[in-house]
Amino acid sequence: MNKIAFKKLAQKNGTPLLIIDHKKIRENYREFKKRLPKVQVYYAIKANPEPEIIKTLYNEGSSFDVASISELRLVLDTLTPLLQRDSISLPDFIWKKIIYANPVKSSDSLPELDIYKPLLTYDSLEEMKKIKFNCPNAGLLLRIKISDNGSLVRFSNKFGIEPEKAAELIEETIKSGLIVEGISFHVGSQCNNFENYIKALESIARIFREVELRGYKIGEEGTRGDPIKQIDIGGGFPVRYNGDEKLFSELARMLNKRFDKLFSEENVDILAEPGRFLVANAGTLITKVILAKHSTKISCYHIDDGIYHTFSAVMYDHFKPKLQAIKDGEKTECYVFGPTCDGLDELSKNEYIYNTSKILLPKLDEGDLIYQENIGAYSNASSTNFNGMPPAKITHINVKT
């Protein structure tokens, strides 16, 4: 889209306005499948839970990664008409197309899932016992701890069992009567150290061998059809925000080679949980200047979106704002603030948030428009109503009906 189109949409819908381009979502999904043809996509709902996005990805063939019972209900409520259209039963859809990939789940959420024999992740003896009591018909993936050095958002501090302890826990899980279907990992979000994926896959191959040497099977036949081992490579697939990130195509080549080397003789299914990769570049935010101060040494612009709203990505996802103006003109340094009463609500050189930086814009006046591209992931998903200010309106473009 161009500046004229942005301006027309803002005039029609008001600001702040988040534009979601479904053409880009479809392109991203198809690129992922082209580069990694052996991998089944489970879209990570947490990146952007808009129902329209869920529908678009379902129509492309995607499965879904949920992290809570609420996210699962959102997917089911959204897709029920499409499932009926396609003559797919709810139990069959959950069994084949959903992974509950949060390794720590509320006990209250598990009993209602049990009849669907869901695919769940876990990473501890304690969680395994919880699942055994509350959801004994589940299929399990054990999440292992993997280095996330080089990733923008890290998870290893919170999730994953050490690989050297994995076989023992798998053995105990199988002895308890549960089915271990495979192993999962997550290298952290926006990963630029591709060796982390390779080391994780090598660890999984070793764990598979060790479990078999102990006399146990992963993916045992009996509850979910053929004895196929599941390998969940998580997310972390890099998005080109700044242009200096590593290429996804490079990662895909490395992964495909390692799949063939390590698992060519295994009967495996490979899963992935891309979120950011599918939606980040599909989102563009248009925001409006609500006050322009030129009486200060450096011009200050207060806009109608900020840290507590769509720019929550700055706080929670290390997003680096790159604001651009609809108006042309010579650019100079300025300060940009969000609409709330909190001093934290600043997008330029925020002393509390390390990833903000100098912002350059032409001289603006009240009512002028600013836009931010590549803000479709972890933005509206974590937006709030702080100070009584509602989140940005959302409009969807290029949606196939």
**Distance between CA atoms of residues 337 and 263, nearest Å:** 52
Alpha carbon 54 to chain centroid, angstroms: 13
Q: Are 39 and 233 in contact (CB under 8 A)?
A: yes
**Distance between CA atoms of residues 81 and 101, nearest Å:** 25
At residue 357, what are phi and psi to the nearest 5 degrees? -155, -175
Per the listing, tokens 């998005």 go with 239
The radius of gyration computed from the CA coordinates of the chain, to the nearest angstrom, equals: 23
User: 188: left (phi > 0), else alpha (psi -120 to 50), else beta?
Assistant: left
User: Cis link prior to 81 (omega < 30° from 0)?
Assistant: no
**Distance between CA atoms of residues 109 and 238, nearest Å:** 32
Q: Are 49 and 68 in contact (CB under 8 A)?
A: no
Which residues are registered as beta bridge partners of 183? 142, 231
Which residues are registered as beta bridge partners of 70? none
- Is 334 noted as a catalytic residue in this protein? no
Distances in Å between the Cα of 400 and the Cα atoms of 23, 25, 86, 94, 103 are 9, 12, 17, 24, 35
Locate all alpha helices (DSSP H) within 193-296, ordered by sequence. Answer: 195-213, 248-263, 276-279
Pairing of strands 139-143, 179-184: parallel
| Distance linking the first and last C-alpha atoms of the chain | 21
Candidates 135, 191, 334, 341; catalytic one: 341
Distances in Å between the Cα of 35 and the Cα atoms of 28, 279, 283 are 11, 17, 23
At residue 191, what are phi and psi to the nearest 5 degrees? -85, 130
Q: Give burial (CB, 10 Å; 0-12/13-18/19+) of 41.
A: buried
Half-sphere exposure for 323 (CA within 13 Å, toward CB): 35
Catalytic residues: 341
